[in-house]
Amino acid sequence: MAKQLHIFVENSPGRLKAITENLSKIDIDIRAFAIQDRGDFGLMKLIVNDPEKAHLSLADLGCACALKDVLAISVPDSPGNLHRLLTALAANKINIIDAHGFVLQPNKLGVCILEIENLAQTNAEKIVKDAGFEILDDAQLYSL
Amino acid sequence: MEIRYWNKDIETADIKSIRSLQLQRLKAIIASALQTPFYKKKLPSVGINSPDDIKSLDDLRRIPLTSKDDLRQNYPKGFLAVDTSEVVRIHTSSGTTGVPTVIYLSAKDLDAATDIMARSIYATGTTKNDILQNMMSYGLFTGGLCMHYGAERVGMMVIPAAGGNTKRQVQLMKDFRTTVLHITPSYLLHVRSKLDEYGVNVGDLALKKAFVGAEPHSENTRKKIEGLFNIDAYNSYGLSEMNGPGVAFECVHKNDLHIWEDAYIAEIINPKTGEILPDGSEGELILTNLIRHAMPLLRYHTRDLAFLHTDPCPCKRTHRRLSRILGRTDDMLIINGVNVFPSQIEEVVMRIPEVGTNYQIYVEKEGALDRLVVKVELYSKIFLGEAKQIDNLKTKIADELRASITITPVIELHEPGMLPVFEGKAVRVVDNRPKL
């Protein structure tokens, strides 16, 4: 299963830059990112080439960060596919905490990153696969 | 102007009679104090073993001062002079830590305190024909209940509205033709800013007066309140340890507060040296309660800075007058009328494992009201990566703080290491409210 790096950042100028600066120093490649905004703070969510290394490096610097299991789902880039995926999850009462998506190959392949509530206790993976989607692990995310 | 007295004999007694009454009452209070675990030890150490050892008011100076810290260390019963079966009411006030200070009142004490409160109300020209909307908190805080009892004693119709829910407050003022408010100055200004929003004109209300207290304010704030509402605003002074809001009150002349010397002995000391200062000198107000026997309190450090004076008042009351409160000798914050010690906040923050040990307290104005912001750092190792965890943590910190300080602060969570680190004396409290 794919790992996403979650970093607690307060809402003030320069805080995101402090993260990217540290990651660039250790040659981490950021493939995708999103920010969950909560007013006076936010969570920066990163899909990177080496999640463990990035996590350890930031933790050493004293950052509040954690690796989270997420579903990285390969979604063909054509109308209706995201809807089909969400319909399958909704039908099974799977709750999505947060999500972001990015296009890897325009008109061909997109990736949808889903943070699922109580992921380990659900059968979300099976539901996604049964609906005809492929779930990517870290290595696949980077070989695409 | 017709001057009404609640108890003309006492309010206009010559100063010699007042001093003589004080001595008589002090001796009686010493007798009660000698029944308490605290003073039973303290008084004999200065040679006071019975009321007869007090020969004149000068002997008061032999009695050591009592502080909030003494109250805390002897919580809950170290100052109690009677069996709890004789107690009819307790009140508490914020302590410097999670331990509050408590006062006990017997039925007789409550009657005496109520009478002093009624006297204060009456001095402003308020009568039984007035309708009081009491917008101070009820419950453990003395401001609500003690005013309520005093107003009932005067015979007023009392609306026990308590604080908050401004829209309902205004509706009550309209529906019941409220003529007098008991309220903090900041909340009163807030109410004014809301009237336009509710489409209510000041002229639609029947307000005539406001008793403003529980937080220090300037003469300019009073003028502003009076102008905005077209009312008279009377300054009041009190503290829970001395039975609440009726310790000193302004009369219709609104020229400093008459301190009821038959009920309290007031002294002003130099807060640094402890030296007793003459009338007219600014210093810390020290109070001895002469009307509470269930829990005597002698020479109590109010930590309020003020001065006393004997300028004649056109109302002919003879009791000395107390100036506006000019400041504090400690770091107590008064936030929307609620007393808060930074040490209370520190104690709570330090016992929450999810936050670091660095914190800052900000106080600022949001409109007319005060806003307390507590800034803490997230402890990095506990972060599990979920926004909900942070939201829950903020709620938990706010709840635990509210349990200690009774008001709900805004919690700001910062990244580890982002709050300023101080090498010398830490600047933990930043009060950005305009100076009085």
Q: Contact at 8 Å (CB) between B62 and B42?
A: no
Q: Is the pLDDT of residue A85 over 90?
A: yes
According to the model, what pLDDT value does residue B422 have?
Answer: 79
Dihedral pair phi/psi, residue B336, rounded to 5°: 50, 45
Is there a contact between A65 and B385 if contact means CB atoms under 8 Å apart? yes
3-state DSSP assignment of residue B114: helix
**Range list for CATH 3.30.300.30 in chain B:** 338-431
The CA dihedral of B131, B133, B247, B224, to the nearest 10 degrees, is -100
Query: What are the tokens at B152?
Result: 């009932």
Angle A51-60/A15-25 helices, nearest 10 degrees? 120
Q: Which superfamily does CATH assign the domain made up of B8-330 to?
A: ANL, N-terminal domain (3.40.50.12780)
Q: Nearest chain B residue to A16 by CA: give it.
A: B415
Instruction: Indicate left, alpha or beta for B102 from its phi (over 0: left) and psi (-120 to 50: alpha).
Output: beta
Is there a contact between A65 and B413 if contact means CB atoms under 8 Å apart? no
Q: Report the Cα A82 to chain-centroid distance in Å.
A: 16
User: Which parts of B178-292 fold into alpha helices (H)?
Assistant: 185-198, 219-229
CB contact set of B252 (below 8 Å; sequence gap of 6+) = B1, B3, B123, B124, B125, B232, B315
Identify which of B379, B384, B415 has the shortest CB distance to residue A10.
Answer: B415
Identify which of B386, B387, B416 has the shortest CB distance to residue A62.
Answer: B416
Between CA B216 and CA B210 the distance in angstroms is 15
Residues of A in contact with B384 (CB under 8 A): 66
Dihedral pair phi/psi, residue B30, rounded to 5°: -60, -40
3-state DSSP assignment of residue B346: helix
Between CA B151 and CA B130 the distance in angstroms is 9
The half-sphere exposure of B374 on its side-chain side, counting CA atoms within 13 A, is 32
The answer, for A27 touching chain B at a CB cutoff of 8 Å, is no
Q: Which of A7, A29, A21 is nearest to A138 (CA)?
A: A29
3-state DSSP assignment of residue B329: coil
Return the number of other C-beta atoms located less than 10 Å from residue B425's C-beta: 6
| Tens of each residue's pLDDT in chain B, 436 residues | 779 999 999 999 999 999 999 999 999 999 999 999 999 999 999 999 999 999 999 999 999 999 999 999 999 999 999 999 999 999 998 877 778 899 999 999 999 999 999 999 999 999 999 999 999 999 999 999 999 999 999 999 999 999 999 999 999 999 999 999 999 999 999 999 899 999 999 999 999 999 998 888 889 889 999 999 999 999 999 999 999 999 999 999 999 999 999 999 999 999 999 999 999 999 999 999 999 999 999 999 999 999 999 999 999 999 999 999 999 999 999 999 999 999 899 889 988 999 987 899 999 999 999 999 999 999 998 999 999 999 999 999 999 999 999 999 999 999 998 998 876 677 899 999 988 7
Query: What are the tokens at B122?
Result: 């009456």
Q: Contact at 8 Å (CB) between A6 and A43?
A: yes
Dihedral pair phi/psi, residue A100, rounded to 5°: -150, 160
- E runs forming strands in B255-409: 257-259, 264-269, 283-289, 300-306, 308-309, 321-322, 327-328, 333-335, 338-340, 355-366, 369-378
Q: Contact at 8 Å (CB) between B317 and B123?
A: yes
Q: Is B167 exposed, middle or buried (0-12, 13-18, 19+ CB in 10 A)?
A: exposed
Cα angle B177, B183, B189; round to 5 = 90
User: Which position has the token pair 């003073």?
Assistant: B39
Between CA B237 and CA B324 the distance in angstroms is 9
Which of A3, A35, A41, A68 to mutate against chain B (most B CBs within 10 Å)?
A: A41
Domains in chain A, please, with CATH?
2-68 (3.30.2130.10), 69-143 (3.30.70.260)
According to the model, what pLDDT value does residue A144 have?
Answer: 67
The half-sphere exposure of B20 on its side-chain side, counting CA atoms within 13 A, is 6
Between CA B251 and CA B303 the distance in angstroms is 24
Fold of B338-431: GMP Synthetase; Chain A, domain 3 (3.30.300)
Query: What are the tokens at B351?
Result: 């016992």
According to the model, what pLDDT value does residue A106 have?
Answer: 80
Residues of B in contact with A9 (CB under 8 A): 415
CA-only gyration radius of chain B, Å: 23
3-state DSSP assignment of residue B8: helix
- Residue A117 binned pLDDT confidence (cut-offs 50, 70, 90): very high
Q: Which of B99, B67, B101 is nearest to B330 (CA)?
A: B67
According to the model, what pLDDT value does residue B180 have?
Answer: 98
Query: What are the tokens at B32?
Result: 């009660």
Number of helical H runs and strand E runs in chain B? 11, 21
Mean pLDDT over each residue of chain A, to the nearest integer: 94
**Range list for CATH 3.40.50.12780 in chain B:** 8-330
Between CA B324 and CA B307 the distance in angstroms is 8
* Residue-wise DSSP of B42-70: HTGGGT--SGGG--SGGGGGGSPPB-HHH
Sign of CA dihedral B236, B307, B116, B128: negative
Cα angle B164, B165, B167; round to 5 = 135
The answer, for A38 touching chain B at a CB cutoff of 8 Å, is yes
Return the number of other C-beta atoms located less than 10 Å from residue B376's C-beta: 23
Q: Report the Cα B341 to chain-centroid distance in Å.
A: 13
- Complex confidence, ipTM: 0.90
Which of B380, B381, B382, B412 to mutate against chain A (most A CBs within 10 Å)?
A: B380
In A114-143, the residues whose Cβ lies within 8 Å of chain B are none
Distances (CA, A) of B328 to A104, B63, B92, B96: 65, 23, 20, 14
Q: Contact at 8 Å (CB) between B181 and B159?
A: no
Distance of residue A115 Cα from the nearest chain B Cα, in angstroms? 10
The half-sphere exposure of A104 on its side-chain side, counting CA atoms within 13 A, is 19
Distance of residue B387 Cα from the nearest chain A Cα, in angstroms? 7
* Residue-wise DSSP of B249-281: EE-TT-SSEEE-TTTEEEEEE-TTT-PBPPTT-
